[in-house]
A and B are shown apart, each in its own frame.
Chain A
Amino acid sequence: MGKVHVPKPSLPPPSNSIGAIAWAKKHLFSTPLNSVLTIIGMYLVVTMGYWTINWAFINADWVGDSREACTSSGACWVFVSARFNQFIYGFYPESEIWRVNLMFAIFTVLLLALVIEKTPKKPWIAAFTLVVFPIIAFFLLYGDAFGLERVETHKWGGLMLTLVLAVVGIVASLPIGVLLALGRRSNMPIIKNLCVVYIEFWRGVPLITVLFMASVMLPLFMHAGAETDKLIRAMIGIVLFQAAYMAEVVRGGLQAIPKGQFEAADALGLNYPKTMGLIILPQALKLMTPGIVNTFIALFKDTSLVLIIGLFDLLAIVQSALADPKWLGYSVEGYVFVAFMFWIFCFGMSKYSQHLEKKLNTGHR
């Protein structure tokens, strides 16, 4: 009786389980087979890495303005640098390129302001970005007002076109997708069925078909003169198509929200829009971040399909440059450049989504 319980102290872990050597032993050389595999793997990584670095950097040619500048055995980046302006701006008139740059500069500043945590008045900046900025961007790029020369959309191209398509697609498809997902879960049969039909229709056709329809078929059905711009038609096609995918991602997130959250909101007297806007969507969008960003990335890469209807996005314009007799034989450099540009943007989105997930995690569940 009366025995006092003394809690046992916590001890550090045994020394052979920590440190770099212990880690390597456990993960790389635990058995003879694993040791052999590790050595083979290391050999492959080192030789391929060595070859790649040699090709891309050490033995590469960087400066010059024709293929004569490429004398060494490595990559000929002269091909990219000589046509850099075309890859970025397409056939946009050289004297007007400042307008594209200005548009992207404004966009970058707005994005940074939205991404950086401590920016004041974020809702206003977001509203400006979504409502006012597109108008500014349109007049900057297209012109034909405020004394700016008109630049027809068939002159747009390269990375600029890719970004315009991707940004419009991303910004427009998310809200439409959210509305479709809410509609599909609605209790009202007409709304619900309309949304189901819409989603299943657009998910059932390939994007290429949609783009073909938009560029070839649609004008046949319209009066001559009522013809809309080809780029606008492609944009609308991409947005309608991606919205259906987005809707399904959002629906997945909505379904993961426990019923109790709806009941608690109801019990407090919140109506449907407030319940959705304040309680359900903030939680659902957080759960859906990986899925949404996944769709964004897919969308970004899918924009290169517009080459099929004769729009020159980044990939198309590099491909057409490869056909130039002056630069025959540099396709590897061209495609590596395209891949690298796509990768930068997609990787950026992926990183930001990971950051967002961490930030939004309030440690529930």
Chain B
Amino acid sequence: MTTTPMPSNDNQVMIELKNVNKWYGAFHVLKDINLTVRKGERIVICGPSGSGKSTMIRCINRLEEHQKGDIIVDKVPLTNDLKNIESVRREVGMVFQHFNLFPHLTVLQNCTLAPIWVRKTSQKDAEANAMRFLERVKIPQQALKYPGQLSGGQQQRVAIARSLCMNPQVMLFDEPTSALDPEMIKEVLDVMIELAEEGMTMLCVTHEMGFAKTVADRVIFMDGGEIIEENNPHEFFDNPQSERTQEFLSQILNH
């Protein structure tokens, strides 16, 4: 196991959200969100559905556009400038709830497409790199299959490998295990834990509280478009401050 780098030792700010606001029509989804993520930090975001947690991390790579406030990713501000957006997206990997693999391409092609076309890597290097990451997520033997031939857990691991092939600085996970059968959740979480131990900066929307306890540096609780509570996992689970957090935790932990 690699040693866990302490985020507090490295103060380089990776992501900064300042007074971010977003509306869907008249509906105010994100209300004055302030969040700073340092390099190497692992953050778990939880909260009831509709609380804006997915929207928040989707704003970080501009899958959603925020209307007020600033989002700065690795010193690049997210504005309407396409160049900035593209450069942020190159550095930020994303894993989706429904995998979103490209069904017309093989697993290997899924992994090499962006490195070849965006990073201009040669096909040979891209394939070698992709195989390394497929080995890391433990499915190199599936490289020539199509996504439709794999189980959900395998597909999600391919999706993680596909993101890693771009050598991102940050990884965003949007409920990566919510669409999986129970017996496949562990294989995906194992990959994520390994990634966290290697020091990847991660923001993860999830309801896997075990995962949060194991790897998170901070847990963020959101409700109604606001960050209600932010704490280290130990304090967050054992000593939640707000009533809303207590209620939420009692609902997801005691059943």
Give me the interface of A with B, judged by CB distance under 8 Å: 258, 260-261, 263-264, 266-271, 274, 278-279, 282-283, 286, 360, 362-365
User: 26 A-B pairs, CB-CB below 8 angstroms?
Assistant: A260-B96, A260-B98, A264-B102, A266-B61, A266-B62, A266-B63, A267-B63, A267-B94, A268-B162, A268-B166, A269-B90, A269-B114, A270-B117, A271-B82, A274-B117, A274-B118, A278-B113, A282-B104, A283-B102, A283-B103, A360-B104, A362-B103, A362-B146, A364-B103, A364-B104, A365-B103
User: Assuming the A-B contacts A283-B103, A365-B103, are A269 and B146 also in contact, with contact meaning beta carbons closer than 8 angstroms in the complex?
Assistant: no
* Complex contacts, A269 vs chain B, CB 8 Å: 86, 89-90, 114, 118, 166
* Complex contacts, A264 vs chain B, CB 8 Å: 94, 96, 100-102
Q: Which residue of A lies closest to B119 (CB)?
A: A269
Q: Which residue of A lies closest to B82 (CB)?
A: A271
In the complex the two chains form, is B118's CB within 8 Å of A268's CB?
Answer: yes
* Complex contacts, B47 vs chain A, CB 8 Å: none
User: Assuming the A-B contacts A362-B146, A363-B149, are A263 and B166 also in contact, with contact meaning beta carbons closer than 8 angstroms in the complex?
Assistant: no
* Complex contacts, B63 vs chain A, CB 8 Å: 263, 266-267
* Complex contacts, A362 vs chain B, CB 8 Å: 103-104, 146, 148
Q: How far is the CA of A268 from the CA of B114 in the complex (A)?
A: 6
* Complex contacts, A278 vs chain B, CB 8 Å: 113, 117
Q: How far is the CA of A258 from the CA of B101 in the complex (A)?
A: 11
* Complex contacts, A283 vs chain B, CB 8 Å: 102-104
Q: Is B93 an interface residue (CB 8 A)?
A: yes
* Complex contacts, A258 vs chain B, CB 8 Å: 100
Q: Is the interface of A mostly helix, strand, loop or mixed?
A: helix
* Complex contacts, A261 vs chain B, CB 8 Å: 100, 102
Q: Is B147 an interface residue (CB 8 A)?
A: yes
User: Assuming the A-B contacts A260-B96, A283-B103, A286-B104, are A267 and B89 also in contact, with contact meaning beta carbons closer than 8 angstroms in the complex?
Assistant: yes
* Complex contacts, B96 vs chain A, CB 8 Å: 260, 263-264, 267
In the complex the two chains form, is A364's CB within 8 Å of B146's CB?
Answer: yes
For B, the interface residue count at a CB cutoff of 8 angstroms equals 28
In the complex the two chains form, is A364's CB within 8 Å of B147's CB?
Answer: yes
Further contacts, 14 of them, CB under 8 A, given A268-B166, A362-B148: A260-B98, A260-B100, A267-B61, A269-B89, A269-B166, A270-B113, A270-B114, A274-B118, A279-B102, A282-B104, A283-B104, A362-B103, A363-B148, A365-B148
The 10 closest A-B pairs by CB, nearest first: A364-B103, A364-B148, A264-B100, A260-B100, A268-B114, A267-B94, A269-B89, A362-B146, A363-B148, A269-B90
Q: Which residue of A lies closest to B172 (CB)?
A: A267
Q: How far is the CA of A258 from the CA of B117 in the complex (A)?
A: 22
Q: How far is the CB of A322 from chain B (nearest CB, A)?
A: 50
Q: How far is the CB of A123 from chain B (nearest CB, A)?
A: 15
Of A261, A267, A270, A271, most B-chain CB atoms within 10 Å: A267
* Complex contacts, A279 vs chain B, CB 8 Å: 102
Which residues of B (91-134) have their CB < 8 Å from a CB of A? Answer: 92-94, 96, 98, 100-104, 113-114, 117-118
Q: How far is the CB of B174 from chain A (nearest CB, A)?
A: 10
* Complex contacts, B90 vs chain A, CB 8 Å: 269
User: Assuming the A-B contacts A260-B96, A260-B98, are A268 and B103 also in contact, with contact meaning beta carbons closer than 8 angstroms in the complex?
Assistant: no
Q: How far is the CB of B82 from chain A (nearest CB, A)?
A: 8
Q: How far is the CA of A268 from the CA of B164 in the complex (A)?
A: 10
Q: Which residue of A lies closest to B159 (CB)?
A: A264
* Complex contacts, B89 vs chain A, CB 8 Å: 266-269
Of A269, A270, A360, A363, most B-chain CB atoms within 10 Å: A269
Q: How far is the CA of A169 from the CA of B140 in the complex (A)?
A: 46
Q: How far is the CA of A360 from the CA of B62 in the complex (A)?
A: 33
* Complex contacts, A271 vs chain B, CB 8 Å: 82, 86
Q: How far is the CB of A121 from chain B (nearest CB, A)?
A: 17
* Complex contacts, B101 vs chain A, CB 8 Å: 264
Q: How far is the CB of B175 from chain A (nearest CB, A)?
A: 13
> Mask for B53-68, Cβ within 8 A of A = 1, else 0?
0000000011100000
Q: How far is the CB of A272 from chain B (nearest CB, A)?
A: 9
* Complex contacts, A267 vs chain B, CB 8 Å: 61, 63, 89, 92-94, 96, 163
Q: Which residue of B lies closest to A271 (CB)?
A: B86
Q: How far is the CB of A303 from chain B (nearest CB, A)?
A: 33
Q: How far is the CA of A363 from the CA of B61 in the complex (A)?
A: 31
Q: How far is the CA of A286 from the CA of B104 in the complex (A)?
A: 9
Q: How far is the CA of A258 from the CA of B96 in the complex (A)?
A: 13
Q: Which residue of B lies closest to A257 (CB)?
A: B103
Which residues of B (148-189) have their CB < 8 Å from a CB of A? Answer: 148-149, 162-163, 166
Q: How far is the CB of B93 from chain A (nearest CB, A)?
A: 7
Q: Which residue of B lies closest to A268 (CB)?
A: B114
* Complex contacts, B82 vs chain A, CB 8 Å: 271
Of B98, B102, B166, most A-chain CB atoms within 10 Å: B102
Q: Which residue of A lies closest to B94 (CB)?
A: A267
Q: How far is the CA of A279 from the CA of B146 in the complex (A)?
A: 14
* Complex contacts, B98 vs chain A, CB 8 Å: 260
Q: How far is the CB of B229 from chain A (nearest CB, A)?
A: 28
